[in-house]
Amino acid sequence: MNPRNRIFALLIGWLALISGLHAYLNVNWASVVNDYLPPQKRKFTVAYIPVTCHLACPVTDYISKFSAAGEVFLPKMFQGFPEIKEALISNKVQAAFIVAPLAIALKSQGVPIKVVYLGHRYGSAVVVRKDGPIKTFADMRGRTIAIPSRFSDERLIVFRAMKAFGIKPSEIKMVEMSPPDVAGALAANAIDAFSMGEPFPSQAEMAGFGRVLFHAREYWPDYMSCVLVVRQDMIDQRPDAVQVLVDGIARSGLWLEKGKSYRENAADFVGRFYYNQNPALLRWALTNPLNRVTYSPLAPRKADFDLVRDLMMETGVLNKKIEFEEYVDLRFADHASIKTAWLYEPGSATAQ
Amino acid sequence: MNSSRQPMKGEQYFWPLLAALLFLAVWHLSVKWSGTKVFPSPFDVERGMAELVHRGLLVRYVADSLGRVAGGYSVAVLLGVPVGLLLGWYPAAAFVVNPTIQILRPISPIAWIPVSIVWFGVGNLAAIYLIFLASFFPIVVASMNAVRNVPSMYRRAGRNFGLSPAMLIAKVVFPASLPQIIVGLRIALGIAWLVVVAAEMIAIDSGLGYLVIDSRNSGKRYDLVVAAMILIGLTGLALDTMFRRIEKLKSVRWGFRYES
């Protein structure tokens, strides 16, 4: 074989090898095949981020795989809310777990989505360095605190605490950081505190350098952070599929509330197969104490959302007064309220 | 058309402007025909830029970004050119250090972000560090190659005149390698300006890169995103044009005599 043919053959062989390896090791064939099914049979793609706020999503996916009806939807993990926002707008995902202020802001900017369910209650905390100079929230004057996004309840809880202590907005510097960066930044003294959802406070606590200054429930009794939104065209064209989705999420919430052993099992399979986080970390976040994060009741309530909307307008991230009915669809949560928890025992291979 | 024909007066502005207008027309028509709800048309972008001017942010953001690039880039030049000269002059040193440089070089500044937050905190210093990293390696490699490409005849002639190694480097090798170093500096400035968006992702609160990230985060302001992109492009063009003037200086003009 002359050199030119040999090089050509090598190139073709290399291309075939890496394509084959990629197709075998990386490609999620379920979602590829899903794109070619007719629209009525296509499964939803649901977006989530590796936080305990969104735990119901991977739990539903895992348990539903064992049930007779099979997988309810295709989960897709993202690393940040801007990417989820863009995927929602361009219909690459049909449903997503996002923070409540972002859902309200997107709806007020004309994105056709509706909130159908909540992610969880509680589960956010403000964390400072363990041996640092900050002993109470009043010491935060003149300091820097990291928040996940300007559209987040974690930012609003800081404002509520500031109101309780009489601190003016200009006296605390807020920086938007992506959640995985904050633990390292706190340890390295780059920030003085952070306000994030689980498991990032737990991560700082377990690593030994963080101390929870206050949990979200101390300044906001019915704190809720993340919500499940679905695109309007899905609600209009396939309401039964949306109902199946909400039912699944509701049943997972009830399953997680059944007891400690179920939560530990969830920490195990979610940490290993979905979040790529240490199961011990998720176990700590879910069981230490058991009410650090609760997954019930998760039906959207007007009072909660009006509070979020008013806080958003007060702090300047929303300029249009939008009503509860415009962005929430309660039908699915109402029908899901009669559902019971999944009948799935940890380690078994059947679920109902 | 003969390519060696000299352009007529004004022609050097006319054709590029025409090409840009054609591009804008294609952009506008694609947005209209595809019916996209997200991607802005040129008019949306122009409105976005007017809004920035109105809020007094345009000049401030451009100045902040330029300041950070200036800081990181000048440190890279001050450190990179001597290091490159030394590595080019002592091939043994280059042989030892080269693998490390070639390992560090392809690491994108975005990959350095978590580490730079831990080292420098959140703020200007971390951003300047990232810009320094992005421009340091191209400068070192270009200076190294420039010294190696100096004809050995120059070195031998200098030694014939009895010059010490230090004088040789200062009076013969450095001026001889200057044209290639200038080319490396120009490329490094382009890279530094390119990295400004990544560098300003670290919880900075001003600058063109921050504008891109911030507009994206605040919902559906993609008109500001594209406006910031265009501003970045135009400023990059201005920087590059300025740099090409340096190539016309007397001390380096001889190195570009073969360019058409």
pLDDT 10s digits, A310-319: 888 888 888 8
Containing domain of residue B149, as a range? 56-253
* Average pLDDT rounded to a whole number, residues A177-188: 83
Q: How far is CA A323 from CA A104, A170, A307, A308, A327, in A?
A: 10, 30, 11, 12, 7
**Confidence class for position A195, pLDDT limits 50, 70, 90:** very high
Give the DSSP H or E segment for A115.
strand A113-118
Report the percent of chain A where pLDDT is more than 90.
20
Task: Tell me if B117 and A149 make a contact (CB, 8 A cut-off).
Answer: no
* Helix intervals (H) in B121-207: 124-148, 152-160, 165-167, 174-199
The pLDDT assigned to B50 comes to 92
Partner-chain residue, chosen from A105, A181, A185, that has the shortest CB–CB distance to B219: A105
Q: Write down the mean pLDDT value for chain A.
A: 88
pLDDT 10s digits, A74-96: 899 988 888 898 899 888 899 99
Q: Is B60 a member of any domain?
A: yes
User: Is the confidence at residue A15, as pLDDT, over 70?
Assistant: yes
Whether A161 and A169 have beta carbons less than 8 Å apart is answered as: no
Task: Tell me if A85 and B219 make a contact (CB, 8 A cut-off).
Answer: yes
Q: How far is B203 from chain A (nearest CA, A)?
A: 6
The pLDDT assigned to B3 comes to 66
**Confidence class for position B197, pLDDT limits 50, 70, 90:** confident
Q: Is B8 a member of any domain?
A: no
pLDDT 10s digits, B128-175: 999 999 999 999 999 999 999 998 898 899 889 998 888 888 888 988
The pLDDT assigned to A338 comes to 85
CATH number at residue B186: 1.10.3720.10
Is A170 an interface residue toward B (CB < 8 Å)? Answer: no
Residues of A in contact with B206 (CB under 8 A): none
Q: Is B212 a member of any domain?
A: yes
User: Is the confidence at residue A146, as pLDDT, over 70?
Assistant: yes
Rounded to two decimals, the ipTM of the complex is: 0.72
DSSP, residue by residue, B73-108: HHHHHHHHHHHHHHHHH-HHHHHHHHHHHHHHTTS-
**Confidence class for position B204, pLDDT limits 50, 70, 90:** confident
Task: Tell me if B38 and A191 make a contact (CB, 8 A cut-off).
Answer: no
Is A90 an interface residue toward B (CB < 8 Å)? Answer: yes
User: Is the confidence at residue A168, as pLDDT, over 80?
Assistant: yes
The pLDDT assigned to B122 comes to 79
Nearest CA in chain B to A190: B121
Q: How far is A96 from chain B (nearest CA, A)?
A: 15
Residues of B in contact with A188 (CB under 8 A): 117-119, 121
Q: Is B20 a member of any domain?
A: no
Locate A99 and state its tokens: 């923070």
Q: Write down the mean pLDDT value for chain B.
A: 88
Q: Is A75 left (phi over 0), alpha (psi -120 to 50) or beta?
A: beta
pLDDT 10s digits, A289-323: 888 888 878 888 888 888 888 888 888 888 888 88
Q: Is B241 a member of any domain?
A: yes
* Beta-bridge mates of residue A117: A228
Q: Is B63 a member of any domain?
A: yes
Partner-chain residue, chosen from B113, B122, B217, that has the shortest CB–CB distance to A82: B217
Residues of B in contact with A90 (CB under 8 A): 38
User: Is the confidence at residue A278, as pLDDT, over 60?
Assistant: yes
Q: Is B35 a member of any domain?
A: no
Nearest CA in chain A to B119: A188
Query: How many domains does one find in chain B?
Result: 1
Q: Which amino acid is at A276?
A: N
Task: Tell me if B220 and A90 make a contact (CB, 8 A cut-off).
Answer: no
The pLDDT assigned to B2 comes to 58
* Beta-bridge mates of residue A47: A76, A96
pLDDT 10s digits, A106-134: 888 888 999 999 988 888 899 999 888 88
The pLDDT assigned to A44 comes to 87
* Average pLDDT rounded to a whole number, residues A189-206: 89
What is the C-alpha separation between B227 and B174, in angstroms, rounded?
42
User: Is the confidence at residue B1, as pLDDT, over 60?
Assistant: no
Q: Is B194 a member of any domain?
A: yes
